[in-house]
Copies of this chain bind each other. A is one copy, B any other.
């Protein structure tokens, strides 16, 4: 294992970015699968098959399933952050975000939707590793959402944004769970009303 006289060290036989690209592909497809079938409902074999690989290759990329879940949650929340930053450049960005979040389309497509809406109570039961990843990620999301809510005062209102996230997530989950189309859409509408009500109250 030791190079007796050398410094050169490891020579990259594969292109340096090949492994990293594979890792990213695994994380991306795992995002969809985990949101669709849940953290406990998705097995390593299935997750790898989604990425076009077999189970054995998994542990060359991640130390454990929890490590993949943590990495995936971090990635998902960063993607959501990027979306919020993008909306910050558009007029009525916040209103458009809320409308899309509480839409029947988002309700019916958990696979490509908000990770919090799909997984929040499972995250709460998960290992510290996963909860740490979620906590750091959601605070970042909250900061960008706060900017979107009050473009004039950057850096303030993270906690108000967390309250807004709680409303959005709870509403989405309830609309998904209720097995009655009319009541489900009524829930989405009530969620939008709750957001408006929250915005109408003074900051603190």
Contacts and interface: CB of A to CB of B under 8 A. Distances in A.
Nearest to A171: B166
Interface in A88-141: 110, 116-125, 128, 131-132, 134-135, 138-139
Given A179-B135, A183-B139, A193-B201, A120 B162 contact: no
Contacts of A128: 179
Interface residue SS majority, chain A: helix
Interface string A193-204: 110111011000
A125 B167 CA distance: 20
How many residues of A sit at the interface, in one of the four size bands? 35 or more
A165 B174 CA distance: 9
A106 to B, nearest CB: 13
15 contacts: A38-B121, A120-B170, A135-B179, A138-B174, A139-B180, A159-B186, A159-B190, A162-B186, A162-B187, A163-B187, A163-B190, A165-B170, A166-B170, A166-B190, A170-B173
Interface of A: 36-38, 40-41, 110, 116-125, 128, 131-132, 134-135, 138-139, 159-160, 162-163, 165-171, 173-174, 176-180, 183, 186-187, 189-191, 193-194, 196-198, 200-201
